[in-house]
């Protein structure tokens, strides 16, 4: 099996795992690698950031805002923000955090370090070779931003641009994330941005579970140092790393979870939004819940601007 085929099969398995079917095929001998299964995967749309194969009807549901959510139309947005707020909304209330009911996250059993600091964490990482991702990396992408930030964004792992520059979210998806942050009335330096794994997976493949488990000890320590009020997980991989493997971002986005003393909100990855611009309004709705929780207001320029067509 080629690495590309293996990635497709793994993505397909994660899709069914996300739907809760893992026990079904285990117990009934269903072969997930069967021709029909692969054909289904071929006919589906692969959402890399959400890390799932999605049949068209599922994609249609994902693209539509959840009808039960109560958002009102945003007063407006600056032209720079208009793509993000295209069908914008304004959160009217921050829902209570939900208990984490799914299986344990990768952080279960991780040890905390007394008097920890970012310098200590960076020192511990060193020229890390703890997992196979070190083999093809250019730079370790530690994280960037305010180490006392109230808000932390967590992505999946570095891409090509990040690997070259040693900074998270600096490519096209990173520019969109910056736009999202500025839409919230903040700047990149006001928040902290990092990833579940700190080295680029080859060919931008999804990090393996063992790679995430090894590397996430550093992320947990970073969160322990920052102690943010809110964490936004960008995409399925980050959400599952923190909340557990059965949690799909399409079902958890826009909802609050408790995580190690912080509130955690999963939403779609900016890379997903680049391919699915219609989902920008969904992410903006999620971010407005975060804004409400943090007491952030839309900027005056954003309020003055004309709503986008
Ligand atoms: S991904 Fe994390 S654990 Fe793996 S080599 Fe890089 S820093 Fe070390």
CATH numbers and ranges of domains, the chain: 3-63 (no CATH), 71-304 (3.40.470.10)
Round to whole Å and give the CA distance between 158 and 168: 6
* The pLDDT of residue 98: 57
Confidence of residue 245 (pLDDT cuts 50, 70, 90): confident
DSSP secondary structure letter of residue 153: E
Confidence of residue 156 (pLDDT cuts 50, 70, 90): very high
Q: Is the pLDDT of residue 206 over 60?
A: yes
In terms of pLDDT, which residue wins out, 296 or 13? 296
Cα angle value 134/10/65 (rounded, 5°):
105
* The pLDDT of residue 173: 96
C-alpha 285 – ligand 1 centre gap (Å): 33
Burial (Cβ within 10 Å: 0-12, 13-18, ≥19) of residue 197: buried
Lookup: tokens for 53: 């194969």
* The pLDDT of residue 5: 67
CB-based pocket (< 6 A), ligand 1: 125, 128-131, 133-134, 140, 197-199, 211, 214-215
Taking only the tens place, the pLDDT of each residue in 41-54 is 333 444 444 444 44
| Pocket probe mutation, ligand 1, options 198, 207, 221, max atoms within 8 Å of Cβ | 198
| Pocket probe mutation, ligand 1, options 199, 200, 208, 219, max atoms within 8 Å of Cβ | 199
In terms of pLDDT, which residue wins out, 175 or 100? 175
| Residue with CA closest to ligand 1 atom 3 | 215
Round to whole Å and give the CA distance between 134 and 3: 18
For residue 233, give every residue at least 6 positions away whose Cβ sits within 8 Å of its Cβ, in sequence order, or none.
154, 239, 241, 242, 243, 249, 264, 265, 266, 267
């Amino acid at each position: 099996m080629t690495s590309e085929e293996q990635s497709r099969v793994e993505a397909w398995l994660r899709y069914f795992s996300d739907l809760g079917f893992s026990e079904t095929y285990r117990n009934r001998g269903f072969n997930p690698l069967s021709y029909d299964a692969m054909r289904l995967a071929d006919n589906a749309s692969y959402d890399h950031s959400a890390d799932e194969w999605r049949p068209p009807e599922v994609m249609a549901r994902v693209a539509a805002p959840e009808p039960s959510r109560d958002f009102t139309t945003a007063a407006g947005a600056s032209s720079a923000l208009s793509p993000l707020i295209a069908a914008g909304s304004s959160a009217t209330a921050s829902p209570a955090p939900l208990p984490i009911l799914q299986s344990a996250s990768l952080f279960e059993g991780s040890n905390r370090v007394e008097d920890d600091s970012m310098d200590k964490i960076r020192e511990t990482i060193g020229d890390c070779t703890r997992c196979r991702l070190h083999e093809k990396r250019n730079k370790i992408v530690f994280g960037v931003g305010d180490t006392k930030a109230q808000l932390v964004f967590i992505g999946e792992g570095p891409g090509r641009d990040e690997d070259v520059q040693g900074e998270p979210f600096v490519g096209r998806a990173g520019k969109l994330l910056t736009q999202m942050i500025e839409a919230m009335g903040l700047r990149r330096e006001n928040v902290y941005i990092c990833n579940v794994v700190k080295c680029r997976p080859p060919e931008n493949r999804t990090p393996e579970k063992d790679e995430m488990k090894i590397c996430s000890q550093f992320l947990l320590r970073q969160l322990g140092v920052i102690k943010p009020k809110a964490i936004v997980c960008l995409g399925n991989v980050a959400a599952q790393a923190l909340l557990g493997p059965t949690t799909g971002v399409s079902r958890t986005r826009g909802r609050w979870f408790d995580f190690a003393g912080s509130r955690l909100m999963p939403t779609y990855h900016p890379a997903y939004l680049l391919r699915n611009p219609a989902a920008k309004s969904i992410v903006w709705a999620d971010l407005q819940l975060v804004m409400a929780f943090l007491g952030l207001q839309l900027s005056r320029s954003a309020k003055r601007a004309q709503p986008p067509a």
